Amino acid sequence: MFTKILIANRGEIACRVAATARRLGIRTVAVYSEADANAQHVAACDEAVLIGGPAPRDSYLRAERILEAAQATGAQAVHPGYGFLSENEDFARDCAEAGIAFIGPPADAIAAMGSKSAAKALMEKAGVPLVPGYHGDNNDPGFLAGQAERIGYPVLIKASAGGGGKGMRRVDRPEDFVAALASCQREAKASFGDDHVLVERYVTRPRHIEIQVFADTLGHCVYLFERDCSVQRRHQKVLEEAPAPGMSDARRAEMGAAAVAAAQAVGYVGAGTVEFIAEEVNDGDLRFYFMEMNTRLQVEHPVTEAITGTDLVEWQLRVAAGQRLPKLQDELRMQGHAIEARICAENPDAGFLPATGALDVLRWPAHVAFRRNADAEPFHDPAAVRVDAGVREGDAISPYYDSMIAKLIVWGENRAQALARLDAALEATRIVGLQTNVAFLRRVVRSQAFATADLDTALIERERAVLLDQPPLALEVVAAGVVAHALADEVSLSGTDPWSRRDGWRLHGGARRHFDIEHAGEHHEVALARLHDGALRLEVGERAWAFTARPVGDDQHDITLGLRRLKLAVHVHGERVAVFSAEGSAVVHEFDAIAHAGEAAGEGGRLTAPMPGKVVAFLTQAGDTVAKGQPVAVMEAMKMEHTLTAPRDGVVAELLYAVGDQVAEGGELLRLQA
């Protein structure tokens, strides 16, 4: 076994690899960019080496810098994590030539499966079913448009070297094909350095089901069952679970055998995932088509670990060191059900626009690491909640890397129990400082479609009415949280001396205290009245409730609001007050009338950058007349392209940036006039 490895990645996967290495007594070396100097993965490792600037191309994609760091620190092997160089055949080959073990498949296997087109050709020869499409080398726009006509709309354009939903577009009409192709190729070039694409028929109501495979250098290859990753937004996974709901034992064995055959066809070694598109047929069974093979560990690997009682990173290390697979096929068993939720810095109600900023508050539910070694039984603890994170409270989410904050994984004896545990764990997750998808994830988990396993990759879109643009947390609940925190804060400062308190106490008579808050973009006046008998009343506009508040721990409050009993968590950071309840959460501002008096009335006519990023294209020019909602610019942030639309009708007076320019959040991109 190795005594020292270098982890050529960042964030939660680097921390995850380091944890297993530490358990096995293996020392670790972190690499980091200038933006990650104080990152958690740096602290999690025994040594760390600076390899370049904040942008991935200046650091985590610099293979020569990473190899220099490995050689300088005496690392015997490199674990690439996922993303960055994990599926780069040249990097795997460079490691081998430098005498450093690459904890992943051989370069030739990466090459064979790294190109979606080449992989599909290989699978076609092996008799694995394929989605109808064009997988060749001709990428002339006119030719591809003709292929799309032949296949029949809707079609899916996919980056041949891609993954993670990047460089992928669904096209429903011929007139949209050329623009979608250009956007897809730009994103593919930026993310993978390769703009080659393929075109396939878009499968109606597809499910995304993948098989975890593992092979060693001694000729053994197994599959560790399947994961259902159908819940996606913008072709990126949101929730993943194992096993796949509704999967029959016969179909599982058939898909597993096909996945093992695919791995063996390319001489695969290590962890890999064979991905299939599946669709239900008349009898409720699944017909499946090969989609691609990811030649690395997957983001969603913890759900497989949870149901099989394995540590897949340990398996990777053992196989890379030349050892036999810890278990063969007849020794592998499934137990229970596991679900993973990807917690991301983004705004679901604004097209999942990425968010950046500081994690002022970061509180997780009580959790354990329920990985087990190869000889252990699957984990079945009543509190089976796991958090894989690469950030700490006070850290910042930057625009340089993807928007994932952490992964929340739960295990249950069955799917119903896992769903209940995931909902409770999401309810207990509190993040303040930037927008996240936590509330959205709760809505997905509690939706009828997900609860009944009515799954396909369009679930989020077809359930928009119940998942997106939902009413905010009730104003009276938010007001109760603001007032409860203020009372508790003042009591903590003044003690129990009634003469020093500012809660409206009077020796004789009553009093009223006022709070001005902004909630859901509107200003509200709230009052706390102390009546003659000492009772409290919360007043919001014309409505009023009997009110009590009792602090029950740091930031926790036991509230009565009329006949309701609530438990609220409240966090205050500057003027922002975040209120968390079982019903949801909200962030409000304590209103300052003077500060808001000077706000410009014309803000709605400005097109500003919603996040830091780079201008990819302007779709208009000075002098053009545009309509509200018309696409006018494209920005790239967090490895994805985002199309921005005109905020109102008008004439473009001036473009304020050039293509290729970096823009700060809030920067005005173009000026409109009436």
Residues marked as catalytic: 296
Preceding peptide of 243 cis, ω within 30°:
yes
Tokens at residue 246, please?
Answer: 């509704």
Tokens at residue 355, please?
Answer: 């968010």
C-beta of residue 576 within 8 angstroms of C-beta of residue 482: no
Beta-carbon contacts of 225 under 8 Å, excluding residues fewer than 6 positions away, are: 211, 212, 242, 243, 252, 256, 304, 307, 308, 332, 334
Per-position DSSP letters for 425-462, written without gaps between them:
HHHT-EEESS--SHHHHHHHHHSHHHHTT---TTHHHH
Give SS3 for 56: helix
Burial of 599 (0-12, 13-18, 19+ CB in 10 A): exposed
CA–CA distance, 37 with 3 (Å, rounded to integer)? 25
Q: Where are the beta strands (DSSP E) in 454-530?
A: 511-519, 522-530
Smallest CA-to-CA distance from 432 within 462, 487, 394, 375 is with: 394
Smallest CA-to-CA distance from 66 within 88, 51, 76, 46 is with: 51
Q: Give Cα separations from 477 to 376, 481, 588 (angstroms).
A: 46, 6, 12
Tokens 């009591």: give the residue: 491
Q: Give Cα separations from 249 to 244, 256, 308, 455 (angstroms).
A: 11, 10, 16, 19
CA–CA distance, 233 with 563 (Å, rounded to integer)? 40
CA geometry: angle 303, 307, 312, nearest 5 deg: 65
Tokens at residue 41, please?
Answer: 């993965």
C-beta of residue 1 within 8 angstroms of C-beta of residue 24: yes
CA–CA distance, 407 with 424 (Å, rounded to integer)? 15
DSSP H or E run through 94: helix 89-97
CA–CA distance, 413 with 382 (Å, rounded to integer)? 9
Tokens at residue 657, please?
Answer: 């940036």
Q: How far is CA 227 from the centre of its chain?
A: 17
Tokens at residue 524, please?
Answer: 């509200």
Smallest CA-to-CA distance from 476 within 552, 568, 554, 553 is with: 568
Share in percent of the chain as helix, strand, coil (round to 5) = 30, 35, 40
CA–CA distance, 195 with 464 (Å, rounded to integer)? 32
C-beta of residue 241 within 8 angstroms of C-beta of residue 102: no
